[in-house]
Structure 1
Amino acid sequence: MRLILIRHGESVGNVDESAFCLIPDHAMDLTDVGVQQAKDAGARLRELLGPQPVDVFVSPYRRTWQTLEHLALGSRIRRVREEPRLREQDWGNLQDLASQQRQKRERNAFGHFFYRLDSGESGADVYDRLTGFLTGLTSPWADDAGEQDRTVLLVTHGLAMRLACMALMGWTVSEFEALSNPVNGDFRVLTRLDTNGSSTGGGLLGLGPAWVLDRPFDTWK
């Protein structure tokens, strides 16, 4: 099994923090730069996939759906399912800019995994919902349960990408905290080495087959 995780292209909120005071987080559009990032990522993904079909799970946010559209994977997409558990870390309703900036400073000092946003989630909360999704990743399509070479694309967000890799790769909290989010429009590929359950790769729940990441995340700066 191969799992591809991609961060959405640049959105309005990525270039203007004050936008979160006026526009719901889930309703942020891609910028022109973000559209181009998605198109460029799509070209790389089409080369990676070749003719192989891909099952897609997408965060319910507008910017992730727009990213999927501009990936232009066409007939390679076998099925698409919106998956709310792939959403961005919840901040809670419209944001106050001063409060938003304060919480980001506190989160950087406290740690992204344990710090809980005033009206939203901690990184640990996001980890919990992601592990639930990843554990049952093949359950929506039971007829594919025995497929050994399945490729799944997750169109999601930067923090969610790191936390999903943390769950599958068996990273500690300290290892997670040392890494930065990928840039907008970037993706990572996780490949499962063993499908017979005999490996003890230290992944999700410390059980099951080992996963290999195609390239590391940058370290936190």
Structure 2
Amino acid sequence: MARPRRIVLIRHGESEGNIDDTVYEREPDHALSLTPTGLLQAEVAGARMRALFGDERVSAYVSPYRRTHQTFQALGLDPSRVRVREEPRLREQDWGNWQDRDDVRRQKAYRDAYGHFFYRFAQGESGADVYDRVGSFLESLWRSFEDPGHPPNVLIITHGLTMRLFCTRWFHWTVAEFESLSNPGNAVSRELLLGADGRYSLDRPFEHWCTPESYGATG
């Protein structure tokens, strides 16, 4: 099994929806583009990625959303060294279709009170649904490591909540731990690094907005 030395997760750059939530009434979430600031963020991240990967090969997976594809393109990686695949299981949490701004704001407030993992948007998904499809992707990813020629680097371009749930699933964090984590900023990355003991560790922790709640023993 050729496990990669590093797995890099990166959130898309700033999108139109990050600065104006009324856009969801006119444009589908998956079709939103990067802002000029988001494009610059992705280009800056690209300089870091190119320095990180050097001349090594990369296996890249990109959420099917326009803003994640634009982020990947703006990274400016050498196409001769990158094998890229679109991966729908890495998409953003589904909120529904064209959305009423006030209704979405109400539901987000409900989600904050109810919990991001269990709250289900009326026409979309819960965090638990995203967790399940991320788990399905991880099974496919692990099977890809069976190829002895697998690249030494994996790059995943996705969304903030999906990044947190990817790490929750990978490291077997509790739901309470997930709930305490903040999303990374736009075009901010995290790395899973393979250690000498064969285990992966996170290069730096996610920021916490609260202390994880402890439920005690369960039976």
Q: Structures share a fold, TM > 0.5?
A: yes
Please name the residue that 2:201 is paired with.
212
Choose which of 133, 136, 139 in structure 2 pairs with 1:132. 136
Alpha-carbon separation, structure 2, partners of 1:94 and 1:148: 40
Is 1:169–1:210's contact at 8 Å kept on the other side of the alignment?
no
Amino acid in structure 1 at the alignment position of 2:120: R
Letter in 2 for 1:217: F
Q: In the alignment, is the contact (CA less than 8 A) between 1:51 and 1:76 conserved in 2?
A: no
The Cα offsets for residues 110-169 of structure 1, whole Å up to 9 and x where unpaired, read as 110010011000000000000110112054x57x62357621100000000000001111
What residue is the counterpart of 2:29 in the other structure? 25
3-state SS, counterpart of residue 3 of structure 1:
strand
Pairs aligned (count): 206
Mapping for residues 1-221 of structure 1, pairs under 5 Å: 1=4, 2-75=6-79, 77-139=81-143, 145-147=147-149, 150-193=152-195, 210-220=199-209
CA offsets 1:175-213 (integer angstroms, 9 cap, x no match): 11110000001010002336xxxx7xxxxxxxxx63200
Q: Which amino acid aligns with 1:210?
A: R
Q: CA RMSD in A?
A: 1.7
Does the Cα contact within 8 Å between 1:168 and 1:211 map onto a contact in 2? no
Q: Tell me, in whole angstroms, the C-alpha distance in 2 between the residues paired with 1:95 and 1:77.
A: 40
Q: Is residue 56–residue 77 contact of structure 1 (8 Å, CA) maintained in 2?
A: no
Distance in 2 between residues matched to 1:190 and 1:41, nearest whole Å: 17
Higher mean alpha-carbon deviation, 74-83 vs 151-160, is at 74-83
CA distance in 1, matches of 2:110, 2:81: 41
Distance 2:51 2:101 in 1: 41
SS at match of 1:137: helix
Gaps of 5+ in 1: 200-208
SS in 2 for 1:136: helix
Partners of 1:152 and 1:188 in 2: CA distance: 12
Contact (CA 8 Å) 1:158, 1:181: kept in 2 or not?
Answer: yes
Deviation at 1:95, TM superposition (A): 0.6
Look up the equivalent residue of 2:203 and give its one-letter code: D
Partner Cα separation in structure 2 for residue 212 and residue 47 of structure 1:
21
Q: Residue 74 of structure 1: SS of its match in structure 2?
A: coil
**One-letter amino acid of the counterpart of residue 174, structure 1:** A
Work out whether residues 3 and 151 of structure 1, in 8 Å CA contact, stay in contact via their aligned partners in 2: yes
Amino acid at match of 1:40: V
* Unaligned residue ranges in structure 2 (runs of 5+): 211-219
TM-score (norm 1): 0.88
Q: CA deviation at 1:52?
A: 0.9
Does the 8 A contact of 1:138 with 1:145 survive in 2?
Answer: no
Change (3 A) 1:158 1:112: same
Q: Quote the sequence identity (%).
A: 53
Of structures 1 and 2, the one with the larger relative CO (CA 8 A, separation 6+) is 2
Deviates more, 1:56-65 or 1:147-156: 147-156
Residue identity in the other structure for 1:95: Q
| TM-score, structure 2 as length reference | 0.89
